Structure 1
């Protein structure tokens, strides 16, 4: 299987919350496994925040990693800092940290690791945990591989918050599909209204819809509904084209 095929399979597996047997614990195990098998980390741990703001380890890719190091990462280290700052943390040389994480660094080096990264586990700009990636060799992962790991983490986080313990019924799936069809029809109607009002090509009218929605922090379908219901003037939307 090529890397591209592995990636396609990984993203589908992480996102399919309606699959039979989907389980949030298994989901995080898959995320950790993909960060090892596809991204190239040597050991990965996924931590999530409790209601008190503490971090709890949810998955560890390599069980050979000492339990002490796994526990330390919830209190100190790149994963903890990543969760606190909501930003990625890179420690490409653990032997050159000037005492930033003394306990974590000592335990990681003793276990044979030379570099570490941490990425936020986030949903809609809210950080719910972090993903720590440990590497035996110093210098760490390439920027492209880190972006890939972040994408995998983002998909897993979204799937996690949309997971339901109750299996989806066929009617539930049909309802979501029909809602999407109805939304598309509303957008096309609004697009036609803008094209007629401004004497524009349809593609240009869609640009106006997207620009107005983005500028005002609205969903595209919400803007379209407002136009169709006449609670929003076409001229207001067209003004977003500049």
Structure 2
């Protein structure tokens, strides 16, 4: 390779590297689907690290459950089988996260360690797997698996880059989890406010129709709701819609 071609190759690599981090940090400033972020991570790992495939196991603490994303469907199926079998490098990395580890799948100790995962991976042509935790400070949200069929392991530069990509993706995942939590809290507050407004409106309507105080109207609605195992806000809406029993709306005597 000539000096000029080497420089061109380096520029292309720098562009691909910049593109990877741009794609992964973009979700830090906008709301995105976490699955899309992890798919982007797997694709860039294959492109930049010269591996055959990449799989990502997502297991956010207090999250909805385990999810798997991969650079191709065969690798995703392999990772899903690993979850079903409760074995494999991704699960090991998630349970006991180290900075980086790499294992030869064609070594003597690989099959006893993962008796079902290893033969399936070898059948797909993978001879080695490196795992990197998806970590943001002390929080681990999953694991990145890098599978390849080369006789030599990934070098230190590649492993450091894999860790940087995984850490960036982890930040995005955690931020999206925080944003989702904020949205949920806002929605609950909005529902609570709307319910309170309906209840206040129903109190006023009921106190006028029954000729009682607002407090008496509220007690009446609560008793009606408790006896019928209904939410107070639902009874209030029924009052405003005229859909409650006549006894609730009848005036005081």
Q: Measured at CA, do residues 54 and 43 of structure 1 come closer, stay the same or move farther in structure 2, by a change above 3 Å? A: farther
SS of the equivalent of 1:141 reads coil
Note if contact 1:47-1:131 (Cα within 8 Å) is conserved in structure 2: yes
Shift of 1:60: 0.9
Number of matched pairs: 166
Are residues 1:84 and 2:95 paired?
Answer: yes
Are residues 1:107 and 2:120 paired?
Answer: yes
Unmatched tracts of structure 2, length 5 or more: 1-10, 182-253
Deviations, residues 166-206 of structure 1 (Å, cap 9, x unaligned) = 9xxxxxxxxxxxxxxxxxxxxxxxxxxxxxxxxxxxxxxxx
Structure richer in helix, relative to its length: 2
SS of the equivalent of 2:133 reads strand
When normalised by structure 1's length, the TM-score is 0.61
Are residues 1:56 and 2:69 paired?
Answer: no
Q: Measured at CA, do residues 155 and 85 of structure 1 come closer, stay the same or move farther in structure 2, by a change above 3 Å? A: same
Note if contact 1:123-1:158 (Cα within 8 Å) is conserved in structure 2: yes
When normalised by structure 2's length, the TM-score is 0.59
User: Where does residue 34 of structure 2 map in the other structure?
Assistant: 24
How much is the aligned-residue C-alpha RMSD, in angstroms?
A: 2.7
Shift of 1:50: 5.4
Deviations, residues 17-58 of structure 1 (Å, cap 9, x unaligned) = 256673211111000001101111211110012558997343
Note if contact 1:47-1:57 (Cα within 8 Å) is conserved in structure 2: yes
Note if contact 1:43-1:135 (Cα within 8 Å) is conserved in structure 2: yes
